[in-house]
A = this chain, B = another copy of it.
Amino acid sequence: MNLKQLEVFLWVAELKGFTKAAKRLYMSQPAVSFQIQSLEEFLGVKLFWRNEKNVILTEAGKLLFEQAKQIVAHFYKIKSVVNDLKELKTGSLTIGASTIPGEYILPKLIGDFRRQFPGIQINVRIAGSAQVEKWLLNREIDLGFCGTLISGKEIECLPFLTDHLVLIAPVDHPWEAGGEIKISDLVKEKFVLRESGSGTRKTFETSLARSNISKEQLSIVMEMGSTRAVITAVEAGLGVSVVSFLAARDPLLLGLIKEIRVHNLDLNRKLYVIRDQSWMSNFAAETFHSFIFTQENNLLFS
């Protein structure tokens, strides 16, 4: 039994004639006879009562007619559902991100994307960069966003945005807001920082290393797993910190903390999109990936 047999059957039943069905299907009448015969043979029942002048369904034919209509419709529905997927009318996309991209960059990006492709369901998971990488390897996410460069031939890792880290201090700190200090001044300070391994922390340590200051020289009074928590600690006067400007912007504008420039210290770091080589497997993921690098989103770069 196959689809063609059912289609031919439906048209013969519909048009009440082998010849008519043949014309409608652009095939010859014997071909129609052949298809009906093989279907009848397969099912072991007569489907039509053939008289001269009219072709009518038997009981089994009537039963098959209903079923066949459903099946044929289902077949064509598959085609259209897959098309919807291709045209991003439907689909789903699971994104994993570390905190800075996840909390400060993705929300706008996803908002823009969803306006353009409202049928796509988007899920976001937020965790550390290492976890994002694991998710990707386990295929739990389609795309990952993180603050550290990932190597490994399984994973494609592209920078998509430069993030600026800033030195922040409590408002009552001796440093002057908007002023500039020397790198060596940092070693005298108490620091509240994100945990080791986080993108922010790594970037800061790497920058210091370029100025020949080792991470052991810093006095770290507290490590926290969330940038927002770090900022709150700085607000409370527990120490100074280096965090993404994106996270610090609002507290700075509200005067809850202050920013101090550091002479000759490059605190920029790149943020990366990662995906594994199976990216062809999800249309929405592929499209979102291109989306990041196009149009006004480029404004995010600096």
Residues of B within 8 A of A82 (CB): 43-45, 60, 63-64
A184-B122 Cα distance, complex, nearest whole Å: 99
A70-B280 Cα distance, complex, nearest whole Å: 26
Do B85 and A45 have beta carbons less than 8 Å apart? yes
Do B81 and A63 have beta carbons less than 8 Å apart? yes
Query: Does A79 reach chain B (CB closer than 8 Å)?
Result: yes
Within A207-255, which residues are at the interface with B (CB < 8 Å)? none
What is the total number of residues of chain A having a CB less than 8 Å from a CB of chain B? 42
A81 touching B58 in the complex, CB below 8 Å, given contacts A86-B44, A280-B46: no
Q: Interface-forming stretch among A1-9, A97-105, A191-199, A258-266?
A: A1-9
Within A1-35, which residues are at the interface with B (CB < 8 Å)? 1-4
Chain A 69-104 interface 0/1 with B at a Cβ cutoff of 8 Å (1 = within): 011001101110111011000011000000000000
Residues of B within 8 A of A42 (CB): 79
Report 25 cross-chain contacts, Cβ distance below 8 Å, ordered by A residue: A1-B79, A2-B2, A3-B3, A43-B78, A43-B79, A43-B82, A44-B82, A46-B280, A46-B281, A51-B278, A56-B139, A58-B281, A59-B92, A59-B283, A59-B284, A60-B85, A60-B283, A63-B81, A63-B82, A64-B82, A67-B77, A68-B78, A71-B71, A71-B74, A71-B78
